[in-house]
């Protein structure tokens, strides 16, 4: 009996900030993360296909200044080219536009502020996934993102290469992207991502939908338009 009581007490006193094991991540969420997560090459960062089969969301610091394209490795192992079409330096977020739609179900973005204590799910870099259930501790400013008032302080166990990986809720909706920061536990919020994505959905994708025939990677339309969109969608502090 004493052993049983001791075990119960120990179970009650385990710190809730420790990320849980993969077995506690719901199967539907696990599959959504596995399918939609991508790796960026050659930088080795993570990203996620979200809101459209042609959009990849990642961390801005994974995209070097002056870089216009990146290679994206899908969950299927396929490699695709993507253009950098929108960035937000304040929120450390970037949107990439894939050359063609992919056969992957994109995740949706959460469009409202999250509540402290919300349970979040995380896979990390898809090349070395570490499924976790974690918690949103609080929302505020952090030293590495001084101009962002609503950074997400979480309990994820992040590692190098996880930057840009999505944090999702129980419905597999993207709540934020891993930024790193103190102990790699900081994420950037989905509401700023939503503003970037909405600009792209109103710009590049409607243009692609009006194409009457395929456009090659090196055509003026394929190259110049994403570059123009990137310039239009570069957000400065306070914008």
pTM: 0.79
Instruction: Give the pLDDT confidence of 18-71 residue by residue, as tens digits.
Output: 455 666 899 999 999 999 999 999 999 999 999 999 999 999 999 988 888 999
What CATH code is assigned to 107-192?
2.40.10.10
Asked if the bond preceding 42 is cis, omega within 30° of 0, the reply is yes
122/124 Cα distance (integer angstroms): 6
More confident residue, 152 or 235: 152
For the chain, which residues make up each domain, given as ranges? 107-192
What does the block give as tokens for 135? 């918690």
Helix axes 190-202, 220-232, angle to 10 degrees: 140
What does the block give as tokens for 120? 């979040």
Residue 206: what pLDDT?
58
Instruction: Give the pLDDT confidence of 141-162 residue by residue, as tens digits.
Output: 988 899 999 999 999 998 989 9
More confident residue, 121 or 15: 121
Q: What is the mean pLDDT of residues 129-137?
A: 94
Residue 217: what pLDDT?
39
150/140 Cα distance (integer angstroms): 5
């Amino acid at each position: 009996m004493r052993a049983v009581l001791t075990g119960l007490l120990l179970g009650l006193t385990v710190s809730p900030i420790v990320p849980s094991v993969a077995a506690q991540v719901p199967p539907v969420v696990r599959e959504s993360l596995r399918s939609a997560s991508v790796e960026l090459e050659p930088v080795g960062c993570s990203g996620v296909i979200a809101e459209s089969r042609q959009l990849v969301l990642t961390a801005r610091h994974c995209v070097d200044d002056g870089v216009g394209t990146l290679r994206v490795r899908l969950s299927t192992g396929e490699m695709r080219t993507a253009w950098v079409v929108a960035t937000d330096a304040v929120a450390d977020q970037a949107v990439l536009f894939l050359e063609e739609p992919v056969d992957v179900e994109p995740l949706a973005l959460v469009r409202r502020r999250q509540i402290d204590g919300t349970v979040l799910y995380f896979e990390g870099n898809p090349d070395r996934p570490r499924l976790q259930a974690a918690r949103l501790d609080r929302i505020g400013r952090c030293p590495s993102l001084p101009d962002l008032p609503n950074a997400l302080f979480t309990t994820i166990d992040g590692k190098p290469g996880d930057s840009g990986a999505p944090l999702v809720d129980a419905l597999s909706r993207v709540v934020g992207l891993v930024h790193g920061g103190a102990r790699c536990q900081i994420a950037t919020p989905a509401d700023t991502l939503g503003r970037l994505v909405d600009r792209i959905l109103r710009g590049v994708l409607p243009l692609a939908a009006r194409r009457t025939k395929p456009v090659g990677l090196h055509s003026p339309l394929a190259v110049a338009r994403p570059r123009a969109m990137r310039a239009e969608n570069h957000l400065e502090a306070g914008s």
